């Protein structure tokens, strides 16, 4: 039977997760140069339109519909939301309307490709971006979502523990971001001129919105207003706080000064890392997860990226990719059956860590290979990178014929 409290919480959480996409727009938009601010807002905003329609038409059915075979992808029997109505589903969130579960999952589908934007910011052609994100959502996000969260998914059958999207969201998007950054190439003037954030206050506002929305993202994944939701809420906040402080202290020690950008980046890294674990671990483990997310993320940003020489503009791989991998593995270490799921390594079940490792490896390989193929196909047909003069002019004008800021004379 439908539970009014559970339904209210899932619908409210859906709204919180949707709000994260405009928050992401401000977070990313504040970090790019002024001439590209509006382009980032547009890239985020259009996903709320395009991916919502894709999800209603085919995405939800591919992700959660009856399995075609082998736990890889769903069929199209729920296309256009046929059979998805106001009564609960027999497989998912049995105390809320099926439509409520569907729209909650839609918000995850919207923001996941949005995370990738930071990797190719300031140099992508909008037409190529639009086609690529639609294809990526259909051929990369939907299958991985089915693997992990569908009742018939092959990783679900292995009992992979991913409470709110370590594999489906953060590893998936982080690996795709790295591939796209490598393929699209470096920004004009990279390493020869400064690429400093044009509006740090907007970055902080965006961080606040993302942190706020993350409670819907993680605690909403309990799909009920219960103790598990409360645990996910608390561990989410604790990990974000621990990671924000850790990145600040690391940066202070390494660079001689604590920065607002570093504190915001650390908080996001911690929130990303605790996402798969939040419903399976306690607050003390969340502190460890958050601190290590900043340690590993800082190493990736400060040392790995310069050594490999790729231009991941806003460090999507270092924050979300590395954070998602660490968080998924940490789930296999710190999980407690008394909280949710099953025990991890520290509680006598080393096999769970191996399952988590398999989930990480499968997501990395699938997302990396498919993203490479899709990028090359769209680049050959439409083109992915703007011309150099358009990049120098800025994407706001060259792609959208409007500016993020208007100077009044």
pLDDT of residue 407: 66
Q: Where are the alpha helices (DSSP H) in 186-226?
A: 200-219
In tens, the pLDDT along 369-380 reads 999 999 999 999
pLDDT of residue 193: 86
In tens, the pLDDT along 309-344 reads 999 999 999 999 999 999 999 999 999 999 998 999
Residue 368, exposed/middle/buried by CB under 10 A (0-12, 13-18, 19+)?
A: middle
The answer on pLDDT for 75 being more than 70 is yes
The answer on pLDDT for 32 being more than 80 is yes
The answer on pLDDT for 57 being more than 70 is yes
Q: Which domains does the chain have, with CATH numbers?
A: 4-398 (1.10.3430.10)
At 191, is the pLDDT very low, low, confident or very high (cuts 50, 70, 90)? confident
In tens, the pLDDT along 115-144 reads 999 999 999 999 999 999 999 999 999 999
Can you tell me the mean pLDDT for 258-283?
Answer: 98
The answer on pLDDT for 363 being more than 80 is yes
Rounded to 10 degrees, what is the CA torsion of 98, 101, 106, 109? -130
**Of residues 91 and 46, more confidently modeled:** 46
Could you tell me which of 295, 285, 294 has the C-alpha nearest to residue 341?
285
Q: Which two tokens stand for residue 186?
A: 């470096």
The answer on pLDDT for 107 being more than 70 is yes
The answer on pLDDT for 158 being more than 60 is yes
pLDDT of residue 369: 98
Instruction: Specify whether the CB–CB gap between 272 and 170 falls below 8 A.
Output: yes
Q: Over pLDDT 90: what percentage of the chain?
A: 97
pTM: 0.97
Instruction: Specify whether the CB–CB gap between 188 and 243 falls below 8 A.
Output: no
In tens, the pLDDT along 288-318 reads 999 999 999 999 999 999 999 999 999 999 9
The answer on pLDDT for 408 being more than 90 is no
pLDDT of residue 330: 98
pLDDT of residue 69: 83
Q: φ and ψ at 405, to 5 degrees?
A: -130, 140
Cα 155 from chain centroid (whole Å): 19
At 51, is the pLDDT very low, low, confident or very high (cuts 50, 70, 90)? very high
pLDDT of residue 409: 46
Can you tell me the mean pLDDT for 243-258?
Answer: 97
């Amino acid at each position: 039977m439908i539970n009014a409290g559970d339904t209210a919480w899932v619908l409210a959480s859906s709204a919180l997760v949707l709000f994260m996409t405009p928050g992401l727009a401000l977070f990313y938009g504040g970090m790019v140069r002024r001439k590209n601010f509006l382009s980032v807002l547009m890239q985020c905003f259009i996903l709320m339109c395009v991916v919502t329609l894709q999800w209603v038409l085919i995405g939800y059915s591919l992700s959660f519909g009856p399995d075609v075979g082998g736990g890889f992808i769903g069929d199209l029997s729920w296309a256009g939301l046929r059979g998805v109505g106001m009564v609960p589903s027999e497989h998912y969130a049995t105390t809320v309307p099926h439509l409520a579960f569907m729209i909650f999952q839609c918000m995850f589908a919207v923001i996941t490709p949005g995370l990738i934007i930071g990797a190719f910011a300031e140099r992508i052609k909008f037409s190529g971006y639009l086609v690529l994100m639609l294809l990526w959502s259909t051929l990369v996000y939907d299958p991985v979502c089915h693997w992990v969260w569908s009742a018939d998914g092959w990783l679900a059958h292995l009992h992979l523990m991913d409470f709110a999207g370590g594999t489906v969201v953060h590893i998936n998007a982080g690996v795709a971001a790295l591939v796209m950054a490598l393929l699209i190439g470096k920004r004009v003037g990279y390493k020869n001129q400064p690429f400093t954030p044009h509006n740090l206050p907007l970055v902080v506002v965006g961080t606040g919105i993302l942190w706020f929305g993350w409670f819907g993202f993680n605690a909403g994944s309990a799909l009920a207003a219960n103790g598990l939701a409360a645990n996910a809420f608390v561990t989410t906040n604790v990990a974000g706080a621990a990671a924000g402080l850790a990145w600040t202290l690391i940066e202070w020690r390494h660079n001689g000064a604590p920065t607002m950008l570093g504190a915001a980046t650390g908080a996001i890294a911690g929130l990303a890392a605790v996402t798969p674990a939040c419903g399976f671990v306690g607050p003390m483990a969340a502190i460890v997860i958050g601190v290590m997310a900043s340690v590993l993320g800082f190493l990736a940003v400060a040392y790995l990226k310069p050594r490999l020489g790729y231009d991941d503009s806003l460090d999507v791989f270092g924050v979300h990719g590395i954070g998602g991998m660490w968080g998924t593995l940490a789930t296999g270490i710190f999980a407690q059956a008394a909280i949710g799921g099953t025990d991890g390594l520290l509680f006598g079940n080393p096999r769970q860590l191996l399952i988590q490792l398999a989930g990480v490896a499968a997501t990395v390989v699938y997302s990396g290979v498919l993203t490479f193929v899709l990028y090359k196909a769209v680049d050959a047909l439409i083109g992915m990178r703007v011309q150099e003069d358009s990049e120098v002019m800025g994407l706001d004008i060259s792609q959208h014929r409007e500016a993020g800021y208007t100077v009044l004379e």
